[in-house]
């Protein structure tokens, strides 16, 4: 049973859905010898209570195993307290239909997440085998995640590496912070364009911690423009009123998942998907040039 996890098979045995030579297997530790006939009853997928909704969604690529989409800013990934519907999952159920069930009823197909106000490329698993393979590859060098961000000021070095363990901020439980007790985190950056009082920066995640880019750019002294948790109203110190207005009116963190490289879960072929900067970030750049 290479396509079924050990925990899932154990559950099927406990539910009486596995027989050995016509007799129900009593426990997951039962030994099977060559020549015995094993039958497994696979239950149908549990229908989700989450409704499909015809929300705008750009699908960059789709086959029998996965879909790659562009998540718009302002939409949460899955239903949760305060967001019962109009989430990315609601849109996926309408546009993609078949999704993996490993994430549970409220997170079908979701292999990874983007924050509500971060836009860009996401990969979605269409069945459990693809989901497990993508998840297994996620922490390896075979997966490459690149972001574009507009940050305050200009880093001293044109390119560099930010290394700082990330954990819960002891002073504000809603935020993360670089703390000694945190988990190892590495972000690489390079300056794409120097702007007026700001910079467009390309970032590569070498690890995947909560709010990693947002925390690391704050730690570097160049927080992301519009970030409600990690930047604050730094625009007030900018003498140019026009630029002040452009930054103050930007409604979200200026962070976009621009490029994602993954191995295909079935063939192993390396595949790269790109998403251009959304209109709101293009307009922000124009105002800062």
- State the catalytic residues: 115
User: Tokens representing 148?
Assistant: 């574009």
* CA distance from start to end of the chain: 58
Torsion, Cα of 270, 276, 278, 279 (10° steps) = -170
Rounded-to-integer distance, Cα 191 and Cα 175, Å: 26
CA 202: distance to chain centroid? 17
Q: How far apart are CA 112 and CA 134, in angstroms?
A: 10
Sign of CA dihedral 55, 58, 62, 65: negative
User: How many angstroms separate the Cα of 79 from the Cα of each of 71, 101, 285?
Assistant: 15, 15, 32
């Amino acid at each position: 049973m290479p396509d079924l996890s050990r925990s899932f098979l154990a559950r099927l045995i406990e539910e009486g859905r596995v027989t050995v030579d016509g007799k129900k297997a009593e426990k997951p530790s039962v030994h099977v010898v060559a020549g015995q006939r094993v039958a497994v009853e696979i239950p149908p997928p549990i229908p989700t209570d989450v409704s499909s909704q015809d929300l705008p969604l750009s699908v960059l690529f789709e086959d029998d195993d996965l879909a790659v989409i562009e998540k718009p800013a302002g939409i949460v990934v899955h239903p949760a307290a305060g967001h019962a519907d109009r989430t990315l999952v609601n849109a996926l159920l309408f546009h993609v239909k078949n999704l993996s069930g490993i994430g549970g009823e409220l997170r079908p197909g979701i292999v990874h997440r983007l924050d509500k106000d971060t836009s860009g490329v996401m990969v979605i698993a269409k069945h459990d085998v693809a989901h497990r393979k993508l998840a297994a590859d996620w922490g390896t060098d075979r997966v490459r995640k690149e972001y574009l961000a507009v940050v305050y000021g200009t880093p001293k070095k044109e390119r560099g590496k930010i290394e700082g363990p990330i954990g819960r901020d002891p002073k504000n439980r809603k935020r993360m912070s670089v703390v000694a007790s945190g988990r190892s985190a590495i972000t690489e950056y390079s300056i794409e364009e120097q702007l007026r009082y700001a910079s467009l920066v390309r970032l590569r995640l070498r690890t995947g911690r909560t709010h990693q880019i947002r925390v690391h750019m704050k730690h570097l002294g160049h927080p992301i423009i519009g970030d409600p948790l990690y930047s604050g109203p730094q625009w007030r110190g900018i003498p140019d009123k026009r630029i002040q207005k452009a930054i103050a009116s930007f409604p979200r963190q200026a962070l976009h998942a621009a490029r994602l490289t993954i191995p295909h879960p079935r063939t192993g072929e390396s595949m790269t998907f790109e998403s251009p900067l959304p209109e709101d970030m293009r307009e922000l750049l124009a105002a800062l040039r």
